[in-house]
Structure 1
Amino acid sequence: MGRGQQNSGHEPTRKPLSRPSWARRNYLLLTGATVIANLGSSGALIATAFAVLASGGSATDVGLVAAARTVPLVLFLLIGGAVADRLPRHHVMVAANALSCGSQGLFALLVLGGEPRLWQMAVLAAFGGTGQAFFAPASEGMVLASVSGEHAGRAFAVFRMGMNGANIGGAALGGALVAAVGPGWVLAVDAASFAVAGALRAFLDVSGTPVRTRRGGILRDLRDGWQEVVSRPWLWAIVLQFSLVNAVISAAQAVYGPLVAEEHLGGPGPWGLALAAFGAGT
């Protein structure tokens, strides 16, 4: 009997790698789109700050552009959630991606074309924040709807890992690209990433999604939501806490960090690595 015949009964059978049963088409499309979009967005945050500095802007100007993105994000987030409860979520997501793609594309053209003005950068940043405000509530609801209840926790954990990994990698890669080719091209890459992500989300299969019943007005929903939050001290305390923490971190990351990197660390490359290290630690 040959050696191959003697060992054939003792070698373990290797099962081919396969995706989990809960990772179906919609889930994979949503996760892939999120990873692609976040890779571009993390680099774009660095590119925006250095684009303002490259145009002769001051620390105040960098802060104004950062605030122009943050304020609409905060103001429209609740409205975005109410809209996501009424309209098909995948339509809201694709529309928000289209808005972000357009605003970042115009931002890139301004930066690549010469000297963008402060008000132009602020307006385009505001459009980007508005798109994110409408996108985020629809996105999380769509991810949880793409898997069955018993697998929702695991699926959402994997989704968040992919998203956070893209944030870390995107920050490091974005900083290196800003240093190598300039902020305008990184903003263009971000616009392209939103276009790809929106295209992937447009292919979601929503034929089995149950039709949601039409409710009252948006103002009524916002009032009811506010009452639900204030009636739970643990909830509004956490929201208040993280609002303060995020305000401090955002100020450091969006304004102070790029200035220190520009003056003392060698520019956007080291700052991208610092943000990647911060993300990995977080």
Structure 2
Amino acid sequence: MFSAAPGRLLPGPYRALFADRTFRRLMPVFALSDLGDGMTVVAVAWLAITLGPEGGQGALAGIAVASYVLPGALGALVLGRWMRRLPARRLLVTDSALRAVLLGTIPLAHLTGLLTPTVYVGLLAASSLLHAWGKAGKHALFAPLLPDDQRLAANSVLSTSLWSATIAGPALAGVLAGAVSPAWIIGMDAATFAVLAVRTGRTTLPRSPAPPVNGGTQGTQRGLSILRRHPELFGLLLVTWVFNLTFGPVEVALPLFVSGDLDAGAGLLGAYWATFGAGAVIGALALGAARRLPLWPVMLGIIASHGVGMLPFALTHTALPSLIGFACAGLVYGPYSALSFTLIQDRAPADSLTTVLAARSAVLLTASPLGAALGGFLLDRTSAPAVLVGCGVLMILTAAASVIMLKLHGRSPRARRRRLRAARRG
């Protein structure tokens, strides 16, 4: 576990962060849960491929990946009336407990022979229903604990934990898939959520301001309204949605690329995600340098560079070029999430933070699953390399179109803020 002594070896912002006792107590269980989620990156799609009918594995994999994420957007919209009453800790505990129970049912259904494609998709979908709120609770949990100048460091540590798990989780899942069914790997993820729910529930946190109580759709609309009042954040939300949409098919096409074009097993699939995660960890640790650069050039540069990293999937005679490209894609993507969350934490009203984060998650949760479903549809009609390379091309086009839009408007969000401040002073 973390202690104050090792903190002396850390850079200043991280040393102060790990001096906080609550952060030290919770970060290990966050890392454990991230590891479980890292394993499901391989296990969810691989289990769908084994359950799917001949010729329909791509479609079922796309549906499974989508069902593991998309209902979270519905939960953010429909359940807001009740979930917004809960503090950040309760949101995280409730989501973690639900995922522990429903994901834990998958290996039991597999053991009893009841795990049909319909049952599998239904359990994945139900387990994700509260995930937008759980994610919002996780990132809002430390807001009342930490001063403003430590929030970027906290978000960087959370992102680094996530991407570190993307190294170890898929690699571990790839090894385990050679010995056990992917259903049991999903069961291991369920166990990590159980640990997270228990540990977080037993941790005493300072009371944060209770969020105002509105209806479900009103709560989501209020969060979106706050985002719309900040053009910089709203523009970033739109660009990120398109970025996530173009990445969605990758999660479905990559398993079929490995099993079909490269004629390899889950171990190589784990290696792909591990190299992506390794690159993302390095990128996340370089967040301090990225933070000093202009926001839009950094964000659009990340999207375009990520797309370039997907182009080597056109080469199917060996895995090495696409492994290197996927690692580079992870490298540039590493700072993206932490930068986004820090901006929202800095700009959104403190008493509406969970609402804004949940609204943002509700919007973004629709993108990748829709992309995954589209990828499953395309994979039954074209090849996996074509889908993967096409995703990269669309990312490059997204960045280019955003640059054109900014130039057509003749000003950047940063310039608009400077002009508004100058107008107020005048």
Query: If the length of structure 2 is used for normalisation, what is the TM-score?
Result: 0.57
Match of 1:32 among 24, 28, 34: 28
Aligned residues: 266
Q: Deviations over 1:159-197 (max 9, x none)?
A: 321222122211211222122322122112111111111
Change in Cα spacing, 1:268 to 1:216, as seen in structure 2 (3 Å) is same
Does structure 2 conserve the Cα–Cα contact (< 8 Å) formed by 1:112 and 1:185?
no
Question: Match for residue 41 of structure 2?
Answer: 45
Match of 1:240 among 238, 241, 248: 238
Change in Cα spacing, 1:50 to 1:216, as seen in structure 2 (3 Å) is closer
Does structure 2 conserve the Cα–Cα contact (< 8 Å) formed by 1:104 and 1:190?
yes
Change in Cα spacing, 1:22 to 1:60, as seen in structure 2 (3 Å) is closer
Q: Quick one: higher RCO (CA 8 Å, sep 6+), 1 or 2?
A: 1
Match of 2:270 among 254, 269, 272: 272
Offset of residue 21 of structure 1: 4.6
Does structure 2 conserve the Cα–Cα contact (< 8 Å) formed by 1:29 and 1:201?
no
Does structure 1 conserve the Cα–Cα contact (< 8 Å) formed by 2:103 and 2:190?
yes
Structure 2, gaps ≥5 residues long = 9-14, 280-329, 331-426
**Structure 2 residue 199 is matched with structure 1 residue 203:** no
Q: Deviations over 1:23-47 (max 9, x none)?
A: 3232123321211111011112311
Query: If the length of structure 1 is used for normalisation, what is the TM-score?
Result: 0.84
Offset of residue 239 of structure 1: 1.7
Cα distance in 1 for residues equivalent to 2:117 and 2:100 = 20
Question: Match for residue 256 of structure 1?
Answer: 253
Cα distance in 2 for residues equivalent to 1:156 and 1:173 = 25
Question: Match for residue 134 of structure 1?
Answer: 133
Offset of residue 115 of structure 1: 6.0
After TM superposition, the structure 1 stretch with the greater mean CA deviation from structure 2, 41-50 or 22-31, is: 22-31
Please, what is the CA RMSD of the aligned residues?
Answer: 2.5
**Structure 2 residue 223 is matched with structure 1 residue 221:** no
Does structure 2 conserve the Cα–Cα contact (< 8 Å) formed by 1:84 and 1:137?
no
Offset of residue 76 of structure 1: 2.7
Amino acid at match of 2:243: V
Change in Cα spacing, 1:167 to 1:128, as seen in structure 2 (3 Å) is farther
Offset of residue 248 of structure 1: 2.3
Structure 1, gaps ≥5 residues long = 1-14
Cα distance in 2 for residues equivalent to 1:276 and 1:81 = 35
Q: Output aligned runs, 1:14-93, within 5 Å.
A: 17-18=6-7, 20-23=15-18, 24-57=20-53, 58-77=57-76, 85-93=84-92
- Aligned-pair identity in percent equals 24
Does structure 1 conserve the Cα–Cα contact (< 8 Å) formed by 2:166 and 2:278?
no
Does structure 2 conserve the Cα–Cα contact (< 8 Å) formed by 1:81 and 1:137?
no
SS of the counterpart of 1:181? coil
Does structure 2 conserve the Cα–Cα contact (< 8 Å) formed by 1:51 and 1:111?
no
Amino acid at match of 1:237: G
Cα distance in 1 for residues equivalent to 2:40 and 2:60 = 17
After TM superposition, the structure 1 stretch with the greater mean CA deviation from structure 2, 171-180 or 190-199, is: 171-180
Offset of residue 266 of structure 1: 1.4
Does structure 1 conserve the Cα–Cα contact (< 8 Å) formed by 2:79 and 2:216?
no
Larger of the two Rg values belongs to structure: 1
Offset of residue 119 of structure 1: 1.2
Does structure 2 conserve the Cα–Cα contact (< 8 Å) formed by 1:22 and 1:148?
no
Cα distance in 2 for residues equivalent to 1:131 and 1:213 = 17
Does structure 1 conserve the Cα–Cα contact (< 8 Å) formed by 2:84 and 2:211?
no
Cα distance in 2 for residues equivalent to 1:34 and 1:275 = 20
**Structure 2 residue 104 is matched with structure 1 residue 108:** no
Cα distance in 2 for residues equivalent to 1:276 and 1:34 = 19
Cα distance in 2 for residues equivalent to 1:189 and 1:31 = 19
Cα distance in 2 for residues equivalent to 1:75 and 1:53 = 26
Q: Deviations over 1:97-119 (max 9, x none)?
A: 11101111111222333362111
Offset of residue 67 of structure 1: 1.7
Offset of residue 72 of structure 1: 0.8
Q: Deviations over 1:226-249 (max 9, x none)?
A: 222234433233222222221222
Amino acid at match of 1:171: P
Cα distance in 2 for residues equivalent to 1:147 and 1:81 = 26
Does structure 2 conserve the Cα–Cα contact (< 8 Å) formed by 1:44 and 1:186?
yes
Change in Cα spacing, 1:167 to 1:187, as seen in structure 2 (3 Å) is same
